[in-house]
Amino acid sequence: MISVGIVGGTGYTGVELLRLLAVHPQVGLEVITSRSEAGRRVDDLFPGLRGHCDLAFSAPDPDRLGACDLVFFATPNGTAMTMAETLLEKGARIIDLAADFRLRDPAEWEQWYGMPHACPALLEEAVYGLPEVNREAIRQARVVANPGCYPTAVQLGLLPLLEADLVEPDGLIADCKSGVSGAGRKASIAILEAEAAENFKAYAVPGHRHLPEIRQGLEQATGRPVSLTFVPHLAPMIRGIHATLYARLRAPADAAALTARFEARYRDAPFVDVLPAESHPETRSVRGANACRLAVHVPQGRETVVVLSVIDNLVKGAAGQAVQNMNLMFGLPETTGLDLPPLVP
């Protein structure tokens, strides 16, 4: 059994971790912290967990957390980096579901996140937790930077093309649509039901924090600069990301041939599902499931390849991927506790 602590369990990634860990056969949840809810039972805040979680929230205690085999941070950006070194010294390993360890360059991190990085030395050690790219490094990692939701959907959709040098590395376009749970569980007028339902809009077009993360991943794959236009949109639904990805082909190719390339690239990836060429994956086909489904199109036999990539932002885009990383770090089969079908309808 892996003894586990969660720092910051009151947000959506936190409660989703609780849902997944509740059915994981190899995890013992020891402690879950929240300053604001300290003393309150978890299942009082989230009645859906009645019968599945007997803990109460507690204030963060480095000794209790450090005694765990693994600590998940489901906190706002800037929290994990202040506690990481202490917990590592005490022998715990760390998976940060926020952004603290995602960018390798501390200067770029500061630019996008608006604060100095508290432990830049760890940035070099931290492993970017996209198992489909870094599976072996994750197994050994002390610190895993769990990827962002958009970066997961976009990278899984573009990597097979860029790694094989099939498309131009400039002029890439990622038109992404996310459900509102991606904005977190926080009091904000913009994501009220009365504001966000029956409505659709783009946001952060001039610049979104996931852009440098995506770019870093794609450039690592190609070994050279890429140019990407990333436009996120808010869709009137709770869960799900749909990334529609556009790239110019270096040479003519049809959807079937490209699909075969994708299948080969993800042959050993249990959570990436390549659909038949010219399919239209739906976000609900991964709702609650740790899966990314991909489909490839080359419309009208033209020069542009279109990749459709769907994930559940809270699962493969957050808590599910974190559990997948945990499984790798502790030598379990990658799919342990994660083999649940989506909720449809």
Cα distance between residue 295 and residue 310, in whole Å: 9
Of the two residues 49 and 88, which places its CB atom closer to a copy of itself in the complex? 49
Q: Does residue 320 interact with a copy of itself by CB under 8 A?
A: no
20 phi/psi in degrees, rounded to 5: -75, -40
Judged by CB, which is closer to a copy of itself: 242, or 265?
242
Among residues 288, 317, 320, 337, the one that binds a copy of itself under rule CB under 8 A? 288
Ramachandran class of 31: left when φ > 0, alpha when ψ lies in -120 to 50, beta otherwise = beta
Enumerate residues 6-45 that contact a copy of itself by CB under 8 A: 12, 15, 18-19, 22-23
Closest to 209 in 3D by CA, of 14, 320, 76: 76
Q: How many residues bind a copy of itself (CB under 8 A)?
A: 89
Minimum distance, C-beta of residue 185 to a copy of itself, in the bound complex (Å): 6
Task: Based on the shown chain and the rule CB under 8 A, indicate whether residue 251 belongs to the binding site for a copy of itself.
Answer: no
Of the pair 52, 90, the CB lying nearest a copy of itself is at 52
One-letter identity of residue 314: L
* Site string (255-284) toward a copy of itself, x via CB under 8 A: ------------------x-x--xxxxxxx
The set of long-range contacts for 73-78, using a CB threshold of 8 Å and a minimum separation of 24, is: 73/7, 73/8, 73/97, 73/98, 73/100, 74/6, 74/7, 74/8, 74/9, 74/11, 74/13, 74/14, 74/17, 74/98, 74/319, 75/7, 75/8, 76/8, 77/113, 78/113, 78/115, 78/118
Positions annotated as catalytic residues are 149
Nearer to a copy of itself, 15 or 138 (CB): 15
Restricting to residues 109-148, which ones interact with a copy of itself according to CB under 8 A? Answer: none
Binding of a copy of itself by 203 (CB under 8 A): yes
303 binds a copy of itself (CB under 8 A): yes
Please check whether residue 148 is in contact with residue 112, taking contact to mean a CB–CB distance below 8 angstroms: no
Question: Considering the complex, what minimum distance in angstroms separates the CB of residue 145 from a copy of itself?
Answer: 23
- For the bound state, the minimum distance from the C-beta of residue 30 to a copy of itself, rounded and expressed in Å, comes to 19
Pick one of 1, 107, 264, 343: the residue that binds a copy of itself (CB under 8 A): 343
List the x/- string, 163-182, binding to a copy of itself by CB under 8 A: --------x-x-x-x-xxx-
- Shortest Å distance, C-beta 299 to a copy of itself: 6
Contact track, a copy of itself, 219-248, x by CB under 8 A = --------x-xxx-x-xxxxxx-x-x-x-x
- Answer for which of 3, 77, 222, 285 binds a copy of itself (CB under 8 A) is 285
Give the DSSP letter of residue 285.
G
| Binding track, positions 44-83, relative to a copy of itself; x by CB under 8 A | --xxxxxxx-------------------------------
Rounded to a whole number of angstroms, the CA Rg of the chain reads 20
Which of 202, 256, 257, 264 lies at the binding interface for a copy of itself (CB under 8 A)? 202
| 103, 286, 294, 326: residue in contact with a copy of itself (rule CB under 8 A) | 286
At 28, the amino acid letter reads G
**Beta strand 70-73 pairing with 93-96:** parallel
DSSP letters for 298-345: -GGG-SEEEEEEEE-TTIIIIIHHHHHHHHHHTT--TTTT--PPP---
Query: Side-chain half-sphere of 134: how many Cα atoms within 13 Å?
Result: 24
